[in-house]
Amino acid sequence: MQTGKRPALRTKEIESKANVVASVEFVVRAALHDSVEDDFVHSIAGRIIAETQNRGEEDAGQISASLVQFGEALDHGISAERLGDGISGDISEYWEHLFDAETGYPKEEIQNEFEVVDLDLLIIDYVAIYPEYRGLRIAESVIYRTIDIFGTGCGLVACRPWPLQFTPSVADDEGTLKRLALPNVSKGEAIRKLRSYWSHLGFWPLGNTGIYLLSVSQRGCRASSQDSAKSLQ
């Protein structure tokens, strides 16, 4: 009798998840200086919310991103050299890999490959969905919605797929690890799966840098060609 009940419970769970309405609430942080490098780097924190008829609204996850207005900085007279030196942390690595240090424009190989139209850069740091709301493609929807809202004026969307459980700030936080309930797999396997996921969304690896890129001007075209290539394999 017990084995007969389990599928019914599972079906009920799936049906309840099908009625989830998800949304994202963004908070954007911007400096109030005047024409210094940090004025053109805006941090974006997104609270992902799920609503069901029975449970109401509750947190379903979070997204972290940054909008870097390289084009705006150059238009305000900040030289490429000063811009590159003034941006710190992970963003400077994106600058070094993607942009020419002298001109401030995309490197030739980047331009040829991704047909960059605008200079601003949208960086997606991570997306985390809580266990009870996984499998609903919420993360995919949040990523695309973030690009829709903040990608205007951007030539590229970039990310560096890295499992949160192997990020020092998360690895040492037992509460966060428990809440996320991330898969218990090796670092190599976790990285492989995460990179495969971002590739599925249309992001392409930039050599061996660990950076994945989506061209805003080519958005949709590459994803379609990628799906076609997979269907032929």
Q: Could you tell me the CATH number of the domain that includes residue 190?
A: 3.40.630.30
Closest Cα partner for 24 from 173, 124, 106?
124
User: Looking at residue 107, what DSSP letter applies?
Assistant: P
What average pLDDT does the segment 132-154 reach?
A: 94
C-alpha to C-alpha distance for 116 and 157, rounded to whole angstroms: 10
Work out how many domains the chain is built from and give that number. Answer: 1
Among 41-50, 58-67, 170-179, 197-206, the least confident range = 170-179
Q: What are the structure tokens assigned to 224, written together?
A: 């379609």
Over residues 164-193, the pLDDT tens digits come to 888 887 877 788 778 888 778 898 999 999
Q: What are the structure tokens assigned to 38, written together?
A: 């940090």
Residue 5: the pLDDT is: 41
Kindly compute the dihedral angle of the four CA atoms of residues 159, 97, 31, 120, in this order, to the nearest 10 degrees: -80
> What is the value of pTM for the model shown?
0.82
Tell whether the torsion through CA atoms of 70, 94, 160 and 132 is positive or negative.
Answer: negative
pLDDT of residue 115 exceeding 70: yes
C-alpha to C-alpha distance for 141 and 150, rounded to whole angstroms: 14
Residue partners of 104: CB distance under 8 A and separation at least 6: 70, 74, 79, 80, 83, 119
C-alpha to C-alpha distance for 146 and 149, rounded to whole angstroms: 5
Share of the chain above pLDDT 70, in %: 81
C-alpha to C-alpha distance for 70 and 160, rounded to whole angstroms: 19
- Write out the residue range of the structural domain in which residue 108 sits: 2-232
pLDDT of residue 149 exceeding 60: yes
Question: Which neighbouring-strand residues pair with 26?
Answer: 46
Closest Cα partner for 22 from 123, 124, 122, 135?
135
- Let me know how long the chain is: 233
Residue the block writes with tokens 């690595």 = 93
pLDDT of residue 223 exceeding 60: no
